[in-house]
Amino acid sequence: MDGNFWVFGYGSLIWRPDFAFEEAQPARLHGWHRSMCLYSTHYRGTPEVPGLVLGLDRGGSCRGLAFRIAHDQAQAVRQALHDREMVTNAYAPCLLPLRLADGRHVRGYSFPIRRDHPQYAGRLPLEQAVALIRQGVGGSGTSRDYLAATVTHLELLGLPDPSLRRLLRAVDGN
């Protein structure tokens, strides 16, 4: 395994990392999948009117983007990510094994969902997920725009997620 500090983005970190990095590589994570499984009560919703955002949930695999962080910035980036992602402690940050597009194996810092957290929605029926995404508005905007930005950037990277694309179509009434 590579000795560098890597961060694995599967959602908004792909299109809004908010930190400097030395390298970005498409990567695959086995054993986890990208899922709209987290009630958003802060960034894309409120406690009274939650939205829905992504989490890494157990099973399957996920393609995303791995960012290599300069050694002298690793602790600051880890702290900034903690401050950004752990507002409600719905994630269990950890290092996970990644395979980069160029074949390297690295460990990436990422944010799997805590299934024991009250914000864990699990796999919702399509109609319920659509309703939550349509209603979700929080401090960082709408759940719909979050979903659309993720779909767009995954496609631009050549990493399309057909299930997210179908969900966005349903949200938009297509």
Quote the distance between the C-alpha of residue 88 and its chain's center: 15
Task: Please give the distance of CA 112 from its chain centroid, rounded to a whole number.
Answer: 9
Which residue out of 23, 48, 85, 127 is catalytically annotated? Answer: 85
b/e 75-114 (16+ beta carbons within 10 angstroms → b) = eebbeebeeebeebebbeeeebebbbeeeeebbbbbbbbb
| Cα gap 141→104, rounded to integer Å | 36
**85 catalytic per annotation:** yes
CA–CA separation, 130 and 113 (whole Å): 20
* 163/60 Cα distance (integer angstroms): 13
Beta bridge pairs of residue 138: 141
Q: What residues act catalytically?
A: 85
